[in-house]
Chains A and B, each alone.
Chain A
């Protein structure tokens, strides 16, 4: 049976937590001696706000709110949207050597099975869904990411929601839709779930650790051996904090594809519906519908998932609609109307985007509402 090193720690700062993950990759470079994979299950100190590798940090994270609340912030090496980490969320990091015969997508699926199995041990049935999420029904319970370095190392990242203070998240992630007050909280809560919610009792990251560790042994057929960072790994992590994660070059990096957002409004028999769409170039990074409904209609939730990472083009958006709206839209309007709503908002967002600079305030969950139909 393959033996993996197993690290468990709590209270990481944003830069320190990310730096140690990257330091653990160093042992898996193609010129390094073969080393066992590492599973690290850890929590951040309350709290850390982390944006994705190619996001504009100032556009995703409210730095003033972070300073006011003592929240550290940083940029992950993995992609995806901004998240909040703390004692309520279990961070999962797997580091290993890349296998030539395994695609990144296959690796992402394989490592996610460890988390799925851990949740199953608690009686929670999660499945890989959306684009890079684990879902319980339609609600996200974990976000996943994969980073391959240039030296042959792999880092799998996940944030598992043992619990989530949605109001706090709305405060520190730069989410103008927080102006919607309780509706913003409800909109997030209708799209995510937590162990606390599923189990009906209070949970946190450290409490969840044992189940997820079991899940990895069960699903991947491995044995975990308790370990600590080596002196060399700790030294590499320290250097990475100093030379990378604490530098403005990393924190405020600019990327080729500009961010842009816009909104559309639609009056339907079911009430007023507002769409927030966030683009990076012509890639839809998120689409979120809010409106006069208590629970997001299932077809609309499916459409949001389908749109994420789609191109903003009529063909791609119509195809997403066709997959999501097989049984209607749930809003008493035709699919074509909702498709046009997305295209309209997206095209306006593209007209407003600027190159390599934040063009908005917003986040992957609730882009800014600067344009209305």
Chain B
């Protein structure tokens, strides 16, 4: 079963994660990678009011590919992989609430053609047990910080 919950937060264990930036990656059969934001990141950011994606065609892992305005901050969307833009999900720019309603499905941000997948994929968390354990640890951390209710 790939749809799981960790302390009440939805997690898909068939995806790869950059948990520092709360980004998920779905490497598809086409070789393209869809990128979105995980449910825990959404919860700690607060309501998403704006999503704006870079018009650059090239993504660089660790660099911003867009900006969000959430309830608690304005900040960058950090690319978990390098690549070339294949598609941008205009539906989430028009309706950021879609990301909260379906973070791992219709709420995806961008699709890229990875340009350095073999070297960069190992930096992401992919093992199911590891994903669940890291999410659990993040939830504990956020509860200690007081940014998540007990």
Which residues of A pack against B, CB within 8 Å?
A: 53-54, 77-79, 100-106, 108-109, 131-132, 145-150, 255-257, 280-283, 285, 309-311, 355
Q: Which residues from chain B contact A149 at a C-beta distance below 8 Å? A: 75-76
Check if B78 is an interface residue, CB within 8 A of chain A.
Answer: yes
Report the minimal beta-carbon distance from B91 to chain A, rounded to whole angstroms: 11
Q: Which residues of A contact B93 (CB under 8 A)?
A: 256
- A283–B48 CA distance with the chains assembled, in angstroms: 8
Note all chain B residues with C-beta closer than 8 A to A104.
44-45, 70, 72-73, 75
- Chain B, residues 80-113, CB within 8 Å of chain A (1/0): the string is 0000000000000111110000000000000000
**Closest Cβ–Cβ distance, residue A100 to chain B (whole Å):** 5
A interface secondary structure, majority: loop
Partner of B50, one of A103, A131, A280, A311: A280
Taken together as a complex, chains A and B put the C-alpha atoms of A106 and B47 apart, in Å, by 16
Residues of B within 8 A of A53 (CB): 69, 74
Within the assembled complex, what's the spacing in Å between the Cα atoms of A92 and B52?
A: 27
- Docked pose: A28 CA to B111 CA in angstroms: 30
Report, nearest first, the 4 A-B pairs whose CB atoms are least far apart.
Answer: A150-B64, A148-B75, A106-B145, A146-B73
B76 neighbours in A (Cβ, 8 Å): 148-150
Q: Which residues of A contact B96 (CB under 8 A)?
A: 257, 281, 283
Which residues of chain B are near A280, meaning CB under 8 Å?
A: 49-50
CA distance A304 to B50 in the complex (A): 21
B141 is an interface residue with CB less than 8 A from chain A: yes
Chain A neighbourhood of B94, CB < 8 A = 256-257, 281, 355
User: From residue A355, how far is it (CB to closest CB) to chain B in Å?
Assistant: 8
Q: Are B44 and A103 in contact (CB under 8 A)?
A: yes
B49 with A285: CB separation less than 8 A: yes
Give the residues in chain A near B95, CB-CB below 8 Å. 281-282
On whether the beta carbons of B44 and A105 are closer than 8 Å, the reply is yes
Which of B49, B75, B95 counts the most chain A CB atoms within 10 A? B49
Q: Please state if A79 and B147 are interface contacts (CB–CB under 8 Å).
A: no
B71 interface contact, C-beta 8 A: yes
Q: Tell me whether A132 and B72 are in contact (CB under 8 A).
A: yes
CB distance from A352 to the nearest CB of B (A): 16
Q: Given A280-B49, A280-B50, A282-B97: A106 and B147 within 8 A (CB)? A: yes
A145 near B74 with CB under 8 A, answer yes
Closest chain A CB from B95 CB (angstroms) = 7
7 pairs from A and B in contact (CB 8 Å cutoff): A53-B69, A105-B45, A106-B146, A131-B46, A148-B74, A257-B96, A310-B47
Chain B 106-150 residues near chain A, CB threshold 8 A: 141-142, 145-147
| A227–B143 CA distance with the chains assembled, in angstroms | 36
In this assembly, does B20 line the interface, its C-beta being within 8 Å of a C-beta of chain A? yes
Specify which chain A residues have a CB less than 8 angstroms from the CB of B72 in the assembled complex: 104-105, 108, 132, 146
Interface pair A309/B51, CB less than 8 Å apart? no
Chain B residues lying within 8 Å of A78, measured Cβ to Cβ, are 73-74
Contact B47 A79 (CB under 8 A): no
B57 within 8 A of A: no
* Contact indicator B147/A103 (Cβ below 8 Å): yes
Question: In the bound complex, how far is the Cα of B97 from the Cα of A256, in angstroms?
Answer: 13
CA distance A77 to B74 in the complex (A): 8
